[in-house]
Amino acid sequence: MKSSPSTVFITGCNRGIGLELVKQFLGSEKGPKHLFATCRKVSDELKELESKNKNLHIIILEVTDYDSFPKVVKQVEEIVGEDGLNLLINNAGMIPADRDLKSVTPEAMRQAFEINCVAPLMLSRALLPLFDKAAAKAGNKTARNAHRAAIVQMSTAVASIAENEFGSYYPYRASKTALNQCMKSMSIDLKDRGILTMAIHPGWVQTDMGGPNAKITTQTCVSEMLKTIDQLDDKDHGAFLRYNNTPIPW
């Protein structure tokens, strides 16, 4: 991405794909004016990036701590002012260890649903007033895009019911399918507000979650994903896309 959206908010930035997103947004030719990177615990790499980039703001956030959201929104609002927020990437997510038919537990199902679906929905809703500001600033005639106002939900291809050929992964699959459904509803509910919503699959990526045998590095995943996000427009409102801008069947 040559030119970053002006104000960007990403969850789960201490490691993995989230950390690489932060690096590549900061490294873009025209970086963001303000980049909000949330994490539960600041990693050394994120801390180092903060020391070198005045536009990087680290926010401590457990994404299921809904009571903390008003404070977070206020914190962001005080910095972005009337610019509002252009782009949210709900990246934080998890796969419970108890995932197959034999081991899956009610607790694993609930935990995945809460972190992978409920939290991104609630955070997106909490930040809507800031998206409204950004969308209004761009003007009514501007098409939807990630430089105006956009909510990107980090989904996964294994959320696709059509592509489920291997079974298992009950908590992860079901919670991300639910995330996709919430994203789709938001795209309809927000249709007149100039805010684009979509879900993206980052690929099978070499992170703690993806494991060492995954197909692509975080660098490749994020550079491709940012190209896709950069090109989003009205036709992608409510879409479910792979990192390389190809559609995934529901």
Question: Using alpha carbons only, how large is the chain's radius of gyration in Å?
Answer: 17
User: Looking at beta carbons only, is 39 or 190 nearer to ligand NDP?
Assistant: 39
User: Looking at beta carbons only, is 14 or 160 nearer to ligand NDP?
Assistant: 14
Token duo for residue 15: 């490691």
User: Looking at beta carbons only, is 126 or 136 nearer to ligand NDP?
Assistant: 126
Taking the C-alpha atoms of residue 81 and residue 155, their distance in angstroms, rounded to an integer, is: 30
Closest approach of Cβ 140 to ligand NDP, in Å?
33
Could you tell me where the DSSP H helices lie in the chain?
Answer: 16-27, 44-52, 69-80, 106-113, 119-126, 128-138, 170-189, 218-231
Closest approach of Cβ 19 to ligand NDP, in Å?
7
Among 5, 93, 96, 171, which residue interacts with ligand NDP (rule: CB under 6 A)? 93
Any bridge partners for residue 90, and if so which? 153
Among 6, 53, 197, 207, which residue interacts with ligand NDP (rule: CB under 6 A)? 207
Of 55, 249, 49, the C-alpha closest to 160 is: 249
How is 14-57 classified by DSSP, letter by letter?
Answer: SSHHHHHHHHHHHHSSB--SEEEEEESS--HHHHHHHHH-TTEE
Site for ligand NDP in 127-146 (CB under 6 A): none
Site for ligand NDP in 30-49 (CB under 6 A): 39-41
Instruction: Single out the segment in contact with ligand NDP by CB under 6 A; choices: 21-29, 87-95, 139-147, 181-189.
Output: 87-95
Of 66, 6, 24, 8, the C-alpha closest to 202 is: 24
Pattern 162-181, ligand NDP, x by CB under 6 A? --------------------
- Interface positions with ligand NDP (CB under 6 A): 12, 14-18, 39-41, 62-64, 91-94, 115, 154, 156, 201-202, 204-205, 207-210, 214
